[in-house]
């Protein structure tokens, strides 16, 4: 699916915005990442060119070590590219300082990880609210309520991660990722640690976020069934894109 317009996810009455999608929200140009191990240069990405339109749901598939996680880290501003350009919502990540990329992550990127990565000392409520706090707008009870209801977490908010199932933890992680209305949601094997029922539930959530609220999503997976939830599937091998299926 490629939406021609972007709907601000979970928009409140005053922030519901529709605007034409003229530019890709994410664009990589000849993206290289080379790791140095001892005296050996090991390229993880070798000239990746990719565009993601606003409101798209893109799945990236490939075998282990093909560079898909590296790419996710770079387009999310967690790591620096060795060469090439990454444009996220018009910002060139490759020329940004570490603190500028931190700001960009805070305001424009949401991450969902395979291992959920919730803070074990905090309950679900505070894990979600943490993102709002770091974002800097303070606690927004209306938005919190909407997100919690959407992800079906109302009954589990006072539970710590250790008291939640894998599927519930991942839903909390998704809630945390979207509570700040990011421009793009980056999911790194979000069903990798889940059973099939929970996986389906999480993937349906992501699809709902994309289709109903226009949330741009880039998801990494090596599961073809999971990848099929995206409206475009990109295949990577040896640090390069070798195939792309679906709408661009």
Partner 1 sequence: MIEHIIVRNVLHRPVRTLITVIAVAVEVMLVITVVGLTTGLLTESAKRVEGVGADIMVQPPSASIFMAFSGAPMPIQIGQKLQSLPYVQAVAPVLLQFNSVNGLDIVYGIDPPSFRAVSGGFVFHEGRDLRDPDDILVDDVYAKAKNVHVGQTLHILEHDFHIVGIVEHGKGARLFVLMPTLQEMSGAHDKASVFYVKCDRSDHTPAVIDEIQELLPRYEVRPLKDFISLMTSSNLPGLGAFINVMISIAVAIGFLVIFLSMYTTVIERTREIGVLKSLGASKAYIVQIVLSETTLLCLLGLVSGIVLSFVMRALLLRLFPSLTILIGPTWILRAGVIAILGGLLGAAYPAWLASRRDPVEALAYE
- Residue ranges that bind partner 1, judged by CB under 8 A: 73, 76, 78-79, 99, 102-107, 109, 111, 113, 117-122, 126, 129-131, 133-135, 139, 176
Shortest Å, Cβ 180 to partner 1? 8
Task: Name the minimum Å distance from CB 73 to partner 1.
Answer: 5
- Return d(Cα 24, Cα 20) in angstroms, integer: 11
Ordered DSSP codes for 32-57: EEEEEETTEEEEEEEEEEEEE-TT-E
Between 85 and 106, CB nearer to partner 1: 106
106 or 222: CB nearest partner 1: 106
Of 4 and 42, the one with the shorter C-beta distance to partner 1 is 42
Nearest distance from C-beta of residue 181 to partner 1, angstroms:
13
What is the H or E stretch that residue 216 is in? strand 216-221
**What is the C-alpha separation between 176 and 126, in angstroms, rounded?**
9
Q: Quick one: DSSP state of residue 79?
A: S
CB of 231 to partner 1, least distance (A): 25
Closest contact distance (angstroms) between CB of 246 and partner 1 is 28
Q: Which is nearer to partner 1, 109 or 184 (CB)?
A: 109
* Closest CB to partner 1 among residues 90, 136: 136
* Nearest alpha carbon to residue 206 among 222, 193, 196, 218: 218
CA distance 234 to 248: 10
């Amino acid at each position: 699916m490629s939406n021609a317009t972007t709907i601000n996810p979970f928009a409140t009455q005053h922030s519901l915005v529709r605007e034409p999608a003229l530019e890709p929200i994410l664009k990589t140009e000849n993206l290289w990442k080379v790791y140095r191990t001892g005296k050996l240069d090991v390229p993880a990405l070798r000239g990746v060119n990719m565009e993601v339109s606003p409101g798209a749901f893109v799945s990236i598939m490939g075998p282990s070590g093909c560079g898909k996680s590296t790419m996710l880290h770079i387009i999310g501003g967690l790591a620096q590219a060795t060469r090439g350009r990454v444009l996220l919502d018009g910002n060139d990540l490759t020329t940004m300082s570490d603190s500028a990329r931190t700001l960009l992550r805070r305001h424009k990127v949401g991450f969902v990880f395979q291992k959920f990565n919730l803070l074990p000392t905090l309950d679900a409520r505070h894990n979600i609210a943490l993102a709002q706090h770091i974002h800097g707008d303070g606690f927004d009870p209306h938005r919190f309520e909407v997100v919690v209801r959407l992800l079906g977490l109302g009954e589990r908010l006072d539970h710590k991660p250790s008291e939640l199932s894998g599927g519930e933890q991942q839903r909390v992680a998704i809630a945390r990722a979207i509570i700040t209305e990011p421009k793009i949601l980056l999911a790194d094997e979000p069903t990798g640690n889940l059973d099939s029922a929970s996986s389906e539930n999480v993937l349906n959530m992501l699809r709902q976020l994309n289709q109903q609220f226009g949330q741009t999503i880039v998801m990494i997976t090596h599961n073809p069934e999971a990848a099929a939830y995206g409206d475009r599937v990109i295949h990577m091998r040896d640090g390069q894109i070798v195939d792309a299926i679906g709408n661009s």
